[in-house]
Amino acid sequence: MTPAGALADFLKRLGANSGVPISLSAAQLQAWPQAFVETLKQERLLNAAAAFLTVVCPGCEERCAMEVQVRTTQRGEVVPFVICDKRNDISRVPVDARELEAWQASGFALAQWLAQRLDLHPSFGSTDSGGRWELGLFRGRRNGRHLRLEGKEGLRVVLGGHNVPLVELLQIGPNGLELDRARLMQCADEPLAGSDDRESTQVRNARILQRIAELKSKGIRNFIKVVAKEEELSETTVKDIVRADKVPKGSLAQMASALSRTAPAKKKNKR
């Protein structure tokens, strides 16, 4: 299999699961070129996971899922095996240790990689996103448009009304995994008519507050100015978002209701 074919296979497997984490054994990874697998690991798109506790038994054509057991030899070697309890002519079946070595990939890790490559400040903070990862404001040469990664019906990037399969934006190059930034800039600068891929105010504010917390943790004092420049907003707007976050939820509505009750009634004009 070529590196391009392996990349397409990797994205297809992940997209078929809507970006939900998938686990692959070391034996399964052997179907891909070793250099490609190492690239995924280096880019943290493939991360070590807890070993598999069950495997497909290779003892016969039934291919049953069986719990793995292990024994340790006198030389300290760990030998995995399964015990067949379904046939009389099969007992202990050895298992290839590579079948137990697990590696995990996820839409979350892929979204993190995209945000890092594009120098974006995403708003998703956990692995659970419902197959949708808001990556932030991406700037073309003329326009700034909101960009997100979607995992439903395959992995896709949505930008300026364009819905681009991720496999069309990635390739294996001389320096590893490469992203077609020029294609994304074209999508941002030439949005489709009637497209509205803007963030909701709530999502935008959450992302901005998360970015501010990140800058504070790094000891950056002029975080308001930094965020205002990144988001192409006025510093006053960013300050208002911070102030609103400090007001207890429901207080603004209660205040407005109280003011409406205490406001003096308008005098009627005399004829």
pLDDT for res 271: 46
Average pLDDT of the chain to the nearest whole number: 80
45 has a pLDDT exceeding 60: yes
pLDDT (0 to 100) of residue 253: 52
Contact 144, 63 (CB under 8 A): no
- pLDDT for 175 beyond 80: yes
User: Which residue would you say has higher pLDDT here, 146 or 251?
Assistant: 146
Q: What is the DSSP letter of 167?
A: G
- AA identity, residue 21: P
Query: CB–CB of 215/231 below 8 Å?
Result: no
Among 29, 46, 36, CA closest to 96? 29
Eight-class DSSP state of 91: -
pLDDT above 70 coverage of the chain, percent: 84
Higher pLDDT, 252 or 134: 134
Q: What is the pLDDT of residues 87-135, one digit of tens each?
A: 776 777 777 777 777 889 999 999 999 999 998 877 666 555 678 888 8
Question: Across 66-80, 101-115, 240-254, which has the greatest mean pLDDT?
Answer: 101-115
Which DSSP category does 197 fall into?
Answer: -
Q: Model confidence at 201, in pLDDT bands (50, 70, 90)?
A: confident
Tell me the pLDDT tens digit for each residue of 131-169. Answer: 888 888 888 888 778 898 988 778 999 998 899 999 999
Q: Is residue 267 over pLDDT 80?
A: no
Handedness of CA 42, 45, 204, 162 (dihedral sign): positive
Mean pLDDT confidence for 34-39:
92
| 262 or 23, which is more confident | 23
pLDDT at 177: 92
Q: What is the mean pLDDT of residues 226-230?
A: 83
Q: Give 125's strand partners.
A: none
Torsion of CA 226, 229, 234, 239, to 10 degrees: -20
- The pLDDT of residue 124 is 66
Percent of the chain with pLDDT over 90: 24
Per domain, the residue ranges of the chain are 12-105, 107-198, 203-259
Angstrom distances, CA of residue 156 to CA of 35, 130, 202 = 25, 14, 23
Looking at residue 88, what is its pLDDT? 72
Instruction: Check whether 180 has a pLDDT greater than 90.
Output: yes
- C-alpha to C-alpha distances, 215 to 30, 119, 154, 211, nearest whole angstrom: 41, 14, 34, 6
